[in-house]
Structure 1
Amino acid sequence: MPESKSRKKAEYTPPPVKSSGPKVNPPWFVPVMLGLMLVGLAWIVVTYLSQSQYPIPGIDSWNLAIGGVLIVAGFIMTTRWR
């Protein structure tokens, strides 16, 4: 009975090693991140203390939305912080 030909398997080649070091954020990143969160908090506090008349007069409750967006933008930046 004839023998079957043996299959040649390709030799294992490991994936190339990434030589880049750890990524670092620019020096302005953390101050901007914290600044956005603090400005958003201050914006909301001023809105409540002035009964929705300030920081931008005439837009009433939208001042709360602006403060919330600033805070959320700061928290989104925390996901990119290394």
Structure 2
Amino acid sequence: MPKSKVRKKTDYTINPASRTPVKVKTGPSSVWYQAVMFGFMLVGLAWLLVYYIGASSSNSALGQEGKFLHWMYELGSWNLLIGFGLGVVGLLMTMGWR
């Protein structure tokens, strides 16, 4: 039986010039950025809590369904999008937080 050819593999070498570290000249995030970021998350959570407790529950301690927060009650399911949207904006801001 004939012997198979042995292939030589070329060694992969990393170019040392491309491995030089790069200094990033940015400092920590400002206090305002952090306040806005956490503010979005907390307002989104508060929106959902107010919707579930005050605007959507029937015979709530805050009044009949739709009377205490009639504008929020009229939004219906859009309240979920608004609340989660505000929370997601805050979470997306965490990617730029240093």
Q: TM-score normalised by the shorter chain: which range applies? A: 0.5 to 0.7
Question: 1:67 corresponds to which residue?
Answer: 83
1:36 to 34, 37, 40: 40
Moved over 6 A (4+): none
Is 1:47 equivalent to 2:51 in the alignment?
Answer: yes
Partner Cα separation in structure 2 for residue 30 and residue 38 of structure 1: 12
- Give the 5 Å matches for 1:9-20: none
- Greater helix content: 2
RMSD: 2.5
Q: Which consecutive residues of structure 1, in runs of 5 or more, have no partner in the other structure?
A: 1-13
Q: What is the identity, as a one-letter code, of the residue corresponding to 1:60? A: G
Normalising by structure 2, report the TM-score.
Answer: 0.58
In 2, the alpha carbon distance for the partners of 1:40 and 1:20 equals 33
> Cα 1:60–1:23, aligned 2, differ >3 Å: closer, same or farther?
same
Deviation at 1:19, TM superposition (A): 6.2
The alignment of Structure 1 onto Structure 2 pairs a total of residues equal to 71
Query: Residue type matched to 1:47 in 2?
Result: Y
Residue segments in structure 2 that go unaligned for 5+ positions in a row:
1-16, 58-65
Distance (Å, rounded) in 1 between the aligned partners of 2:51 and 2:39: 18
The one-letter code of the counterpart of 1:71 is: G
Measured after TM superposition, the shift of residue 59 of structure 1 is 1.1
Q: TM-score, normalised by structure 1?
A: 0.67
**What's the secondary structure of 2:74's corresponding residue?**
coil
Deviations 1:13-41 (A, max 9, x none): x68x8666333323200011101000000
Report % sequence identity: 40
Q: Distance between the aligned counterparts of 2:79 and 2:40, measured in 1?
A: 15
